[in-house]
Amino acid sequence: MSDYLMHQTMRWYGPHDKVSLSDIRQAGCEGVVTALHHIPVGDVWTVGEIEKRRKMIEQAGMTWTVIESLPVSDDIKKQRGDYKQHIENYKQSLRNVASCGLKVITYNFMPVLDWLRTDVNYEMTDGSRALYFNRLDFVIFDLMLLQRPGAEHDFAQAEIEQAKTKFASMSEEKKQSIFRNCLLGLPGSDDAFTPEQVLSALKSYEGIDKNQLKKHLFDFLHEVIPVAEECGLKMAIHPDDPPYAVMGLPRIMSTEQDAADLLAAVPSPANGLCFCTGSFGARADNDIPKMLHRFADHVHFLHLRNTKRDEEGNFFEADHLAGDTNMYEVIREVIQIQRRRRISIPMRPDHGHQMLDDLKKTTYPGYSAIGRLRGLAELRGVEYALNNALQ
């Protein structure tokens, strides 16, 4: 049996997270994935703050090798305002985290919102709850609740008519629920965006299309990847979630071609992917095992989750071994990658159903303890069986 198994981790939102380090350790994790959410985006992560967090994790019997995320400011994404200073600060943060022993930096280049769902309490047939994106509810949010200028041009007329019909019969409670869910704050924050903040942020991206945003990403990487190389760090970009345009914003990390463009633009062992099977898997045209095989040498971090989608553009978080992505083939490919590269790739069971006692608790959507523990156990079992069988 190979010694190269996935490095099992869970995401932790810091000292205020309802899921404690002890909970994560008892789930069987070797490591923790976290970030310094209290530091404003664009500021330098100091060695003192990094060390404080690292020691906290090590005292709980685990390691901190993956940062999720070291956020890229909207100024950098737009190349406006203080973006040059923010890039210099980012470089210094990379040097600081490397000096503290961290190895992988996860980030994304999604404008304004890191992720979007219309329902964070979608009830499954077994009574557990999941994250859900309902296309028609999103049309209602964008067109009738947020009232984004120009939104009517982004949807087919038939879709707009369906949304108007549904909206007319929708309760005020349901409308407010959709509104709140779509405006949830960034991961690690309890603060929701206000409509005014979102509309202002959207307006600030006017004139920046997909090609321009992609150029800004590549410009950013040309600046920071050499620093990452010097420090022995791996940069891992997270794909768009959902992996298509929302609220008129461009998306540039949604498809196999997007990933190929990224790696070709800045060729370096330090330039790579946080390969999220859930985000990529929400698109039917993404062949997940094939993409893993193609980008094998640049997969620096794994988010293993599963989504179930339909032809209308809806999707929900399925069980880790269910959904539209063949997790057996995914893990089989990961095992081959690890053996060939002689490494253990960090992995976390991304998202999980709210279930059992966690139904009575308030946690970050998708990040309750028991559902992720279940996912980790299932994924670990598949890897163990395949690793023994593939001699």
Q: Which of 74, 241, 319, 350 is catalytic?
A: 350
Q: What would the two tokens of residue 338 be?
A: 């690890």
Instruction: Record the tokens describing residue 274, joined without a space.
Output: 């946080």
Write down the catalytic residue from 86, 216, 303, 353: 303
- Using DSSP, state whether 298 is helix, strand or coil: helix
Q: Is 350 a catalytic residue?
A: yes
In whole angstroms, what is the distance from residue 73 CA to residue 97 CA?
Answer: 18
Active site residue 142: no
**90, 351, 353, 358: the active-site residue:** 351
* Active site (annotated) includes residue 320: no
Sheet holding 119-123, edge to edge: 119-123, 129-133, 315-318, 306-309
Q: Say how many Å lie between the first and final Cα of the chain, rounded.
A: 7
In the numeric block, which tokens belong to residue 390? 């593939």
Sign for the CA dihedral angle at 131, 122, 370, 362 comes to positive
Report yes or no: 141 and 178 within 8 Å, Cβ to Cβ: yes
Catalytic residue, chosen from 29, 182, 231, 276, is 276
303 is catalytic: yes
* 300 is annotated as an active-site residue: no
Query: How crowded is residue 219: how many other Cβ atoms within 10 Å of its Cβ?
Result: 15
Strand-strand pairing, 7-11 and 31-34: parallel
Is 38 catalytic? The answer is: no
Annotated active-site residue in 90, 122, 205, 367 = 367
Would you name the residues annotated as active-site residues?
238, 276, 303, 350-351, 367
